Structure 1
Amino acid sequence: MTRVLHLVPSADSTAYRGQVRALRERGVDCATLAVPGAHVPGERTRRPRDYLVHAARAVRAAGDDFDLVHANQGIVAPTALATPGLPAVVSLWGTDLYGRLGPVSRGCARRAAATVVMSERMARDLGADALVVPHGVDTDSFSPRDPTAARAAVGWRDDERHVLFPYSPARPAKDFPRARRVVDAARGRIDADVALQVLTDASHDEMPTYLNAADALLLTSTHEGSPNAVKEALACNLPVVATPVGDVPERLDGVSPGGVADTDRGLARLLADALSERERSNGRERVAHLDRDWTARRLERLYREVADG
């Protein structure tokens, strides 16, 4: 059995928790070491001392007979590389490559025993050997349901068109001002009331209902890796309109209604088309193979290769 010490900024990440659950189902022994403290975009962030405490704990844990250490996100990659006696796998999720910590993430990725990225675009931009393994989707929970019943469940009017923006407006990379501009422009193109639904406090268990209640998901990010919200929306056959970031163009290829566009005008046109028809998409067929077991199988194989040297 492969034993893996997972380093992660927050153990509350639904993508991370789903990944570990699938790995354990395949027999991988996973231990999680999260950075202490809490990070809330636009409100508070962790202190340097929190990362020093995390690094000290990782050094102590390294003596507990693990086969390797896996840094989930670039911000904890330096700690993985400093963990004595263990080969390091580094996973980059998106912002850690394209944001202000990009140089650190790139440097760590080149020193790691193996690097995992979320999309082919990230692999090209990294400029180093990397395995593309996007986070998997819980395709059992995220599946098509009756939209009218879903809207009743979340308290949304059935006679409005609902555009879902499932991120905090305080996160600059998600570009909420642009989302608001695009929705305003789309309103002028259709004969219906349009509501922009900003969702920041729903639990992951509630998300399938919201995705089925919405008429479209809007992603206006400046950069991404492989956004789970897009894949989960597609699994529910929800139309997605997005900027061409990360692996989104690949995921939306052949999906209708919805699509990608570079300009506000193009995004508004795609959004208006999706809202005016109020049709579900054929997105589920594009992500049906990306379940969590698919991801776990690839990581399990990588772990064996790294552990065997």
Structure 2
Amino acid sequence: MIIFFPTRLSPTGGSSSFARKFAAGLKALSHSVAFERPQKYDLLLTNASCPLQHLLHAKARRVPIIHRLDGVYYPQSVADKQWRLHNFPLWLTRRLADHIIYQSGYSRHCAETFLGHIRTPYTLIYNGVDTGQFKPDGPAEPLRSNGNRHVFITVSRFRRPDQIDPLIDAFNVYRNRYHADCKLVIIGNFEGTVADRPQQLSQPRIIEFRGIVPNNKLPAYLRAADAFLFTHLNPPCPNNVIEALACGLPVCGVADGAMPELVSSGNSGELLPVQGNGFFSPRQLDPAAIAVTMHKIMQNRLHYSQAARQSALDRFTLDHMINQYLTVLTRLTPNL
């Protein structure tokens, strides 16, 4: 089977990471994935949006189209007032697809809310990670100067204040109230309205901005930390959270988006309840309340760590994800 998956690969980013893992997983099962359009292909798999010429090319040749959809745009997203315009390519791709793969139940809810209800068949498939690479055991970065230091970490592409400011505030509360000897390690690039945060907020040996770290080197950072912090608004299925779980890293986050589907409060992490959906008005987070959940995790970290790792093994392995995709692919190509 030849799958055409139009993707512009970059060194980092969830879409590129998925594309590489997906291609490698299918290659191991004697299928091939092409990122540039080949002369002949059996399926078109597309991310959130797809160039119109590829959609029309597949339709003209009666090639099945699978739409892999994570999130959509809404007034409080990065699209701001242009959210309807940004949603149009997603709306069009979804309407032309023969099957939709939602990355979470929350992803489907958002699509139905902002792209409209459709009756196209769909499957829910969570992202998967290589639990042989992302695991608690292995080389670790020297992030702590002594065994008593608490180390928190976050990884993302930071574009909005809600993705970073509450973390900094909560960390400072934790440091002042619960454990003075601690560090926050922040990995990723900063863009847009938060581009200046590394220069503004960096504190040597306390709040460290490490920039972009290649995905194959990320496990060494994750397994060196105590807990993963994450306050993104309405995440559809954050791969970085699943990678943290696989490394046995408890997740301290917010109970919105797909987070309640990924993280079990009291087991693999702690999620702070929030009011409203954050679609139309800003969401306010209490840094002190986040600090309380950080403290709760650190009081019983071994339990949380073991549950986090087991959750990844039970639900988010790469093999499980690939097999789910393959089930959908073969169902749409019964004659191959």
TM-score range for the pair, normalised by the shorter chain length: 0.7 to 0.9
User: Are 1:292 and 2:318 matched, yes or no?
Assistant: yes
* Count of matched residue pairs: 274
Amino acid in structure 2 at the alignment position of 1:157:
S
Provide structure 1 residue ranges, at least 5 long, that are not aligned to the other structure: 34-57
In the TM superposition, what is the alpha-carbon distance from 1:11 to its structure 2 partner? Answer: 5.3
Q: Hey, what does 2:170 align to over in structure 1?
A: 182
User: Are 1:234 and 2:248 matched, yes or no?
Assistant: no
Q: Hey, what does 2:198 align to over in structure 1?
A: none
- Alignment identity in percent? 20
The answer on whether the counterparts of 2:167 and 2:231 sit within 8 Å (CA) in structure 1 is yes
In the TM superposition, what is the alpha-carbon distance from 1:113 to its structure 2 partner? Answer: 0.9
In the TM superposition, what is the alpha-carbon distance from 1:246 to its structure 2 partner? Answer: 3.5
Q: For 2:88 and 2:45, how far apart are their aligned partners in 1?
A: 19
Q: Hey, what does 1:4 align to over in structure 2?
A: 3
Q: For 1:7 and 1:246, how far apart are their aligned partners in 2?
A: 27
In the TM superposition, what is the alpha-carbon distance from 1:187 to its structure 2 partner? Answer: 2.0
In the TM superposition, what is the alpha-carbon distance from 1:215 to its structure 2 partner? Answer: 1.2
Q: Hey, what does 2:30 align to over in structure 1?
A: 27
User: Are 1:162 and 2:187 matched, yes or no?
Assistant: no
Q: Hey, what does 2:200 align to over in structure 1?
A: none
Amino acid in structure 1 at the alignment position of 2:32:
D
In the TM superposition, what is the alpha-carbon distance from 1:82 to its structure 2 partner? Answer: 2.6
From the superposition, tell whether residues 175 and 140 of structure 1 become closer, same or farther in structure 2 (CA, over 3 Å).
Answer: same
Provide structure 2 residue ranges, at least 5 long, that are not aligned to the other structure: 113-117, 189-211, 275-284
Q: Hey, what does 1:93 align to over in structure 2?
A: 70
Q: Hey, what does 2:19 align to over in structure 1?
A: 16
The partner residue of 2:57 within 83, 97, 104 is 83
From the superposition, tell whether residues 252 and 7 of structure 1 become closer, same or farther in structure 2 (CA, over 3 Å).
Answer: same
State TM-score, norm by structure 2. Answer: 0.73
In the TM superposition, what is the alpha-carbon distance from 1:136 to its structure 2 partner? Answer: 0.9
The answer on whether the counterparts of 1:96 and 1:105 sit within 8 Å (CA) in structure 2 is no
Amino acid in structure 2 at the alignment position of 1:272:
H
The partner residue of 1:130 within 108, 122, 126 is 122
User: Are 1:109 and 2:94 matched, yes or no?
Assistant: yes
User: Are 1:120 and 2:105 matched, yes or no?
Assistant: yes
In the TM superposition, what is the alpha-carbon distance from 1:295 to its structure 2 partner? Answer: 1.2
From the superposition, tell whether residues 308 and 164 of structure 1 become closer, same or farther in structure 2 (CA, over 3 Å).
Answer: same
State TM-score, norm by structure 1. Answer: 0.79
| Secondary structure of 1:7's aligned partner | coil
Q: For 1:306 and 1:174, how far apart are their aligned partners in 2?
A: 40
From the superposition, tell whether residues 121 and 300 of structure 1 become closer, same or farther in structure 2 (CA, over 3 Å).
Answer: same
The partner residue of 1:196 within 181, 184, 187 is 184
Task: Describe the superposition over 1:283-304 as per-residue Cα deviations: whole angstroms up to 9, x where unpaired.
Answer: 1111213211111112112112
Amino acid in structure 2 at the alignment position of 1:229:
N
| Secondary structure of 1:253's aligned partner | coil
| Secondary structure of 1:249's aligned partner | helix
User: Are 1:303 and 2:292 matched, yes or no?
Assistant: no
In the TM superposition, what is the alpha-carbon distance from 1:257 to its structure 2 partner? Answer: 6.3
The answer on whether the counterparts of 1:136 and 1:291 sit within 8 Å (CA) in structure 2 is yes
Q: For 1:164 and 1:231, how far apart are their aligned partners in 2?
A: 14
Q: Hey, what does 1:215 align to over in structure 2?
A: 226
Q: Hey, what does 1:69 align to over in structure 2?
A: 44
The partner residue of 1:274 within 293, 297, 320 is 297
The answer on whether the counterparts of 1:6 and 1:32 sit within 8 Å (CA) in structure 2 is yes
Task: Describe the superposition over 1:73-99 as per-residue Cα deviations: whole angstroms up to 9, x where unpaired.
Answer: 223264542324232111123356865
Amino acid in structure 1 at the alignment position of 2:122:
A
From the superposition, tell whether residues 154 and 77 of structure 1 become closer, same or farther in structure 2 (CA, over 3 Å).
Answer: farther
Q: For 2:179 and 2:27, how far apart are their aligned partners in 1?
A: 50
| Secondary structure of 1:142's aligned partner | coil
- Deviating above 3 A after TM superposition, structure 1's stretches of 4 or more consecutive aligned residues are 77-80, 95-100, 153-156, 254-257, 275-280
